[in-house]
Amino acid sequence: MRNINENTITLAVVDSMSATKDARLRTVMTSLVQHLHSFAREVKLTEDEWAKAIDFLTAVGNITDDKRQEFILLSDTLGLSMLVTAQNNKKPAQCTEATVFGPFYVHGAPEYANGGDISNGASGEPCFVSGRILGVDGSPVTSARIDVWQSDQEGFYDVQIVPTSPTTPEHRARGRLRSAADGAFHFRSILAEAYPIPHDGPVGELLEALGRHPWRPAHLHFMITAPGYETLVTHIFRNGDKYLDSDAVFGVRSSLVADWVRHEPGVAPDGTRVSSVHYTLNYDFVLNPVDDA
Amino acid sequence: MRNINENTITLAVVDSMSATKDARLRTVMTSLVQHLHSFAREVKLTEDEWAKAIDFLTAVGNITDDKRQEFILLSDTLGLSMLVTAQNNKKPAQCTEATVFGPFYVHGAPEYANGGDISNGASGEPCFVSGRILGVDGSPVTSARIDVWQSDQEGFYDVQIVPTSPTTPEHRARGRLRSAADGAFHFRSILAEAYPIPHDGPVGELLEALGRHPWRPAHLHFMITAPGYETLVTHIFRNGDKYLDSDAVFGVRSSLVADWVRHEPGVAPDGTRVSSVHYTLNYDFVLNPVDDA
């Protein structure tokens, strides 16, 4: 460990972890160090570039707080999040595919009965969402917990907006429901729109330097949990969106693209009269049973 | 870009950077993404592990401020800093080798004439340091700028200590000198001692989980700049230190280990009488000429 140079350093670091009690931690850190060093050697990373990387990570840390998670944005935009999601959620072909969790889920969203309006004051054209939660054999999954969250017509999630009124509800366009006895759920919300990921921070600067746009195609987030099934974290993407082929976070899977059907003013699916253009979306989710093995 | 899975994701991310104007940035980021993804695939990183990594980086960001740079500590303890230093500072054999910069250099340290006492109130046994700044042919380098910094006998740099008195000088055990006409320099300071890197944060937790100690062998930091020569950033390590073979940041090079000679109370090299045990260190630095090519 005295004659450290650019070739001996990797083995020295790997050897230093030989007393690690947690075998999995040792495996992960050994691989991480080897790949990190291989990267630095392959591009012959300079000292200036190293210093810029430190400054960049420091800036990512500085902007991160309870409401903004720039490290997740970084992971998302480098495709790491989607890689981890994909390799840990391999399912039978008939199951609904998973995609990235994203940084905008929050705990404590309101509970709604089926038919409720989860927009809760968020701006946007009305949208009526319905579907079923099913097992792989098509049988209904009863009382599944359905978490849904989305941005408003300006492309902002509630947590990104400082309310202008003290009476503005904290949670808007997000909610929790349960599937009915026949596996069905339905709720009212607003039309999902494309939006840029937060790009006024270091990740936005990086995207600009890389010639990349920060946009995500319009989508609705779902997290569905039910006893005996793997938790499903996914989105439904809006067919026709111009960013479907260039999602800034690489989350699009063809099987998750669905039609939002446009309707003129009239009677909505829930029997109410809607005086404006509105939309309907219907999508069935198929859960993967937990492997008992 | 719609059929993203754990195999197609890497090419999708690399392709997304095809409009990068800065060719070097594209090279670096392409390699980074490929190695990052290879790592995640090789260990089959789980979603829980990914979440822990996000939490870890968030904690590193939270503890980092103007005086504490946990990202540099992380880079140091993973050997990345030393790798980058080594591969960017290959020199002819007769030149003094470089080592890591570390997180404790600060701008604005006081200027001292040769013979000055840079300890400036820092605690420790007196130490008289001397040497010469030379070119590869042994000729003196005149008026070289010499930055020196070190920890005190408790192992703390000035920036790590909240002063107990308003009259405590801000900069202690750090200073700036210039080599004389014959290339020589000398100053008084304190004995360098081994110390642990700051380990009360997330990097310290990681080291503990990896079964690693946080100690660095005793050393004195130097940064030497002179027109016509490459800047030299290095340390001199104290021979006999028990951590020379397990430096937490992998900075030790055999050529940088030197003897601190112990002396009983008496007349110091600068002619003053020292009433306590004291030390001397003599080390000549050989600078690498700038390649004019």
Q: What is the C-alpha separation between A137 and A139, in angstroms, rounded?
A: 6
Fold of the CATH domain A73-286 = Protocatechuate 3,4-Dioxygenase, subunit A (2.60.130)
What is this structure's pTM?
A: 0.89
pLDDT at B21 over 60: yes
Contacting residues for B94 by C-beta, under 8 A, at least 6 apart = B136, B286
Residue whose pair of structure tokens reads 């995609």 in the numeric block: A99
Question: pLDDT exceeding 90 applies to what percent of chain A?
Answer: 87
- To the nearest whole Å, the CA of A98 is away from the closest chain B CA by 10
CB of B11 within 8 Å of a chain A CB? The answer is: no
Q: Do A47 and B252 touch (CB under 8 A)?
A: no
pLDDT of res. A293: 53
Secondary structure percentages of chain A, helix, strand, coil, to 5: 25, 20, 50
pLDDT at A163 over 90: no
- To the nearest whole Å, the CA of A192 is away from the closest chain B CA by 18
- To the nearest whole Å, the CA of A133 is away from the closest chain B CA by 23
Q: From chain B, pick out residues whose CB is under 8 angstroms from the CB of A87.
A: 6, 40-41, 44-45
What average pLDDT is seen over chain B? 94
Q: Please name which of B240, B254, B160 lies closest in space to residue B192, comparing C-alpha atoms.
A: B240
Q: Nearest Cβ partner of A64 from B25, B27, B58?
A: B58
Q: Please name which of B186, B178, B172 lies closest in space to residue B147, comparing C-alpha atoms.
A: B178
pLDDT of res. A63: 97
pLDDT of res. B259: 97
Look at B103 and B243; give whichever has higher pLDDT: B243
Residue type, B139: S
- Where does B150-276 show beta strands of DSSP type E? 174-178, 184-190, 195-196, 215-216, 219-225, 232-238, 257-258, 261-263, 266-267, 273-274
What average pLDDT is seen over chain A? 94
* B:13-72 residues touching chain A, CB 8 A cutoff: 13, 16-22, 25-29, 31-33, 35-47, 49-50, 54, 57-58, 60-62, 64, 69, 71-72
Q: Do A18 and B61 touch (CB under 8 A)?
A: no
Q: Do A19 and B45 touch (CB under 8 A)?
A: no
What tens digit of pLDDT does each residue of A130-154 get? Answer: 999 999 999 999 999 999 999 999 9
Burial of B250 (0-12, 13-18, 19+ CB in 10 A): buried
pLDDT of res. B292: 63
pLDDT at B293 over 70: no
Q: From chain A, pick out residues whose CB is under 8 angstroms from the CB of B62.
A: 61, 64
- Where does A135-286 show beta strands of DSSP type E? 145-149, 174-178, 184-190, 195-196, 215-216, 219-225, 232-238, 257-258, 261-263, 266-267, 273-274, 278-282, 285-286
* A:259-278 residues touching chain B, CB 8 A cutoff: none
Contact indicator for A249, A76 with CB cutoff of 8 Å: yes
Q: Do B36 and A3 touch (CB under 8 A)?
A: no
Look at B2 and B269; give whichever has higher pLDDT: B269
What is residue B210's DSSP assignment? T
Q: From chain B, pick out residues whose CB is under 8 angstroms from the CB of A16.
A: 210, 212, 246, 250
What tens digit of pLDDT does each residue of A99-121 get? Answer: 999 888 989 999 999 999 999 99
What tens digit of pLDDT does each residue of B180-231 get? Answer: 999 999 999 999 999 999 999 999 999 999 999 999 999 999 999 999 999 9
pLDDT at B2 over 90: no
pLDDT of res. A160: 86
What is residue A57's DSSP assignment? H
Token reading at A125: 């054209």
Q: What is the C-alpha separation between A146 and B121, in angstroms, rounded?
A: 64
- To the nearest whole Å, the CA of A257 is away from the closest chain B CA by 9
Contacting residues for B132 by C-beta, under 8 A, at least 6 apart = B140, B179, B182, B183, B184, B185, B284, B285
Strand partners, B196: B215
What counts of helices (H) and strands (E) characterise chain B?
Answer: 6, 14
pLDDT at B167 over 90: no
**CA terminus-to-terminus distance, chain B:** 45
What tens digit of pLDDT does each residue of B103-154 get? Answer: 889 999 999 999 999 999 999 999 999 999 999 999 999 999 999 999 999 9
Contacting residues for A29 by C-beta, under 8 A, at least 6 apart = A17, A20, B210
- As assigned by CATH, the class of the B75-286 domain is mainly beta
pLDDT at A1 over 80: no
> In which band, very low, low, confident or very high, does the pLDDT at B36 lie, cut at 50, 70 and 90?
very high
* B:119-178 residues touching chain A, CB 8 A cutoff: none
What tens digit of pLDDT does each residue of A229-259 get? Answer: 999 999 999 999 999 999 999 999 999 999 9
Burial call A211-228: b when 16+ CB within 10 Å, e when fewer: ebebbbbbbbbbbbebee
State how beta strands B232-238 and B257-258 pair.
Answer: parallel
**ipTM confidence score:** 0.90
Q: What is the C-alpha separation between A190 and A207, in angstroms, rounded?
A: 29
Reported as half-sphere exposure (CB side, CA atoms, 13 A), residue B168 has a value of 13
Q: What is the C-alpha separation between B81 and B99, in angstroms, rounded?
A: 9
CB of A10 within 8 Å of a chain B CB? The answer is: yes
* A:213-252 residues touching chain B, CB 8 A cutoff: 244-247, 250-252
Q: Nearest Cβ partner of A71 from B21, B54, B81?
A: B54
Contacting residues for B242 by C-beta, under 8 A, at least 6 apart = B194, B217
Q: Nearest Cβ partner of B78 from A36, A54, A78?
A: A36
Residue type, A290: V
What tens digit of pLDDT does each residue of A186-198 get? Answer: 999 999 999 999 9
- To the nearest whole Å, the CA of A51 is away from the closest chain B CA by 9
CB of A100 within 8 Å of a chain B CB? The answer is: no
